[in-house]
Amino acid sequence: MRRKFAVVAAVSATMLLAACSSSGSSSSETSAAASSAATASAAASASGGSDESGTLTVWLMADAQTNWPELVDSTNQTFNQAHPNVTVNVEYQQWSDHLTKLDAALAGDTVPDVVELGNTETTKYMAAGALGDLGGTQFPNQDTWLQGLADAGKYNDTTYGVPYYAGARAMIYRTDMYTDVGAAVPTSQDEFNAVNAKLMEKYGADNKKFSAFYAPGKYWYLAMSYVYDQGGVIASQDGDTWTGALDSPEAQAGLAAWQKAVETGSRADKTGTEAEEWNAMISGQAASMYGNGWEVGLISAEDGGDPDLADKVAAYPMPSVTAGEVMPTFLGGSVLTVPAKSANAALAAEWIADFTSTDNQKALAAKGVLPNTTSLLSDVPEASQPFAQAAQKSWFVPTAVNWANVETAQTIPNMLVDILTGKASIADATTAASEEITKILNS
């Protein structure tokens, strides 16, 4: 089973990383006759199709062209049954320049009708009024969408983006090390800390660089998962006003649990980030880390990894403070949107509904990609199940227009460093961070 991680990583590593960042190069395009969504398609097909004509332009990232072109083709065929006179022009984009191209298109008069965006890219466009309201369309599985992706497509309680696919974080660990200390997969934070204490005793007594749980101080996606696990949030919204909320009792309890876990099992740099955290696993300096599914394959990769670890690396969802439950995870992934300037908004929404059909989401799940709905996470292959289980509960950053400025200011990472280095107590650090978040989000 563990060898399958490399296969899953090969399918999904680029897209899950790129959905939250930028990398890549050129673009290509394909054309196919097309038109309409699930129920609309069936109704129109029964009556011989609709009278609409013209071209529907769809911008998808190249991941679809590389990994599931058959789903794009079948969507266009379904769409064409309802709208035989509409041509769908699918233009594949690259993460490196898709936003530059989108900004240029939005500034002009000719815009694509459907646009895939990484889930961390949406807020800017929603807040600017550049995306159309999709709340009037019924999409497949929308009542069970992954929360972290659904939140990424909402602004002021209006839906502007439809979840497409996701990637989640889970605990990646050395099975041989766990076996050596007689440890089973933990199902609570108490068990998690107990396992890490045993690992530190066995492997860390002589190796002062060893971490049972590699957790650098600035790894804020990890720390905030503890916050959301305790019912806390980064910030709350009331109308047009945002208020930093890391000083709430719930958030502070989450940070206390995070601090305990880090101090129990980690000797990672208290001022460092999680960048290339897999190297700690490769070098034998860590027994576990909190990482994305695609990182598993890097640990045992022929190029840069240690192939001998292929049968010694597995994963499990990070356990909650509440025994038997999993901790919420931050999701990476993509959403599908319709620019407000689109002249074919209704058709675009129908195409999105077809593309995110239950059958297509099942097909994505079979490839090891996390589908957009909790109802299909069980369809994900065994090798990726720990990440699918982690995605059952998820969180997203505040969809505030100035959120990017909070990240640029490093407000949360700096708060975490202050806590771990003893510069400030949790109470003082969270009060200062909450005040700064409030100021930035409302400026």
HEC string for 186-246: CCCHHHHHHHHHHHHHHHCCCCCCCECCECCCCCHHHHHHHHHHCCCCCEEEECCEEEECC
Those residues with Cβ within 8 angstroms of residue 412's Cβ, 6 or more apart along the chain or in another chain:
220, 223, 224, 234, 246, 406, 433
Report pLDDT for 38.
Answer: 40
Report pLDDT for 36.
Answer: 34
279, 173, 266, 283: which is closest to 219 by C-alpha? 266
155, 197, 156, 158: which is closest to 178 by C-alpha? 197
**Percent of the chain with pLDDT strictly greater than 70:** 88
Judge whether residue 45 has pLDDT over 50: no
How far is the CA of 196 from the CAs of 61, 161, 185, 208, in angstroms? 40, 40, 11, 15
For the stretch 123-139, pLDDT in tens is: 999 999 999 999 999 99
Distance of alpha carbon 342 from its chain centroid, rounded?
A: 27
Single-letter amino acid code for the residue at 380: V
For the stretch 364-415, pLDDT in tens is: 999 999 999 999 999 999 999 999 999 999 999 999 999 999 999 999 999 9
Judge whether residue 312 has pLDDT over 60: yes
Domains (ranges, CATH) in the chain?
Answer: 4-168+332-395 (3.40.190.10), 170-330+402-441 (3.40.190.10)
DSSP 2-60: TTHHHHHHHHHHHHHHHTTS------EEEEEEE---HHHHHHHHHTT-----EEEEEEE
pTM of this prediction exceeds 0.75: yes
* Main-chain dihedrals φ then ψ at residue 231, nearest 5 degrees: 90, 10
Start-to-end Cα distance in the chain: 50
Report pLDDT for 101.
Answer: 97
Question: Contacts by 227-232 with C-beta closer than 8 Å and gap 24+?
Answer: 227/251, 227/254, 227/255, 227/258, 228/254, 228/327, 228/328, 228/395, 229/254, 229/257, 229/320, 229/321, 229/322, 229/327, 229/328, 230/254, 230/257, 230/321
Report pLDDT for 35.
Answer: 32
Query: Would you call 427 helix, strand, or coil by DSSP?
Result: helix
Q: What is the mean pLDDT of the chain?
A: 90
Judge whether residue 32 has pLDDT over 60: no
Contact 328, 228 (CB under 8 A): yes
Q: Would the CA dihedral through 3, 8, 14, 19 be positive or negative?
A: negative
Contact 66, 103 (CB under 8 A): no
Q: Please identify which residue in the block is written with the tokens 């990440």.
A: 387
Q: Enter the tokens of residue 155.
A: 């602004």
Report pLDDT for 373.
Answer: 98
Q: For the chain, how are helix, strand and coil distributed in percent, rounded to 5?
A: 45, 20, 35
Q: How confident is the model at residue 50 (pLDDT cuts 50, 70, 90)?
A: low
Report pLDDT for 29.
Answer: 37
103, 123, 100: which is closest to 403 by C-alpha? 123
Cα–Cα distance measured from residue 115 to residue 271, given in angstroms and rounded to the nearest whole number: 38
Single-letter amino acid code for the residue at 4: K
Cα–Cα distance measured from residue 178 to residue 46, given in angstroms and rounded to the nearest whole number: 59
Report pLDDT for 94.
Answer: 96
Q: Would the CA dihedral through 49, 53, 59, 64 be positive or negative?
A: positive
88, 90, 93, 107: which is closest to 35 by C-alpha? 88
Judge whether residue 141 has pLDDT over 90: yes
Report pLDDT for 114.
Answer: 98
119, 54, 31: which is closest to 403 by C-alpha? 119
For the stretch 217-265, pLDDT in tens is: 999 999 999 999 999 999 999 999 999 999 999 999 999 999 999 999 9
DSSP designation for 317: P
| Mean pLDDT to the nearest integer, 27-32 | 36
For the chain, the residue count is 443
Q: How confident is the model at residue 49 (pLDDT cuts 50, 70, 90)?
A: low
Q: How confident is the model at residue 52 (pLDDT cuts 50, 70, 90)?
A: confident
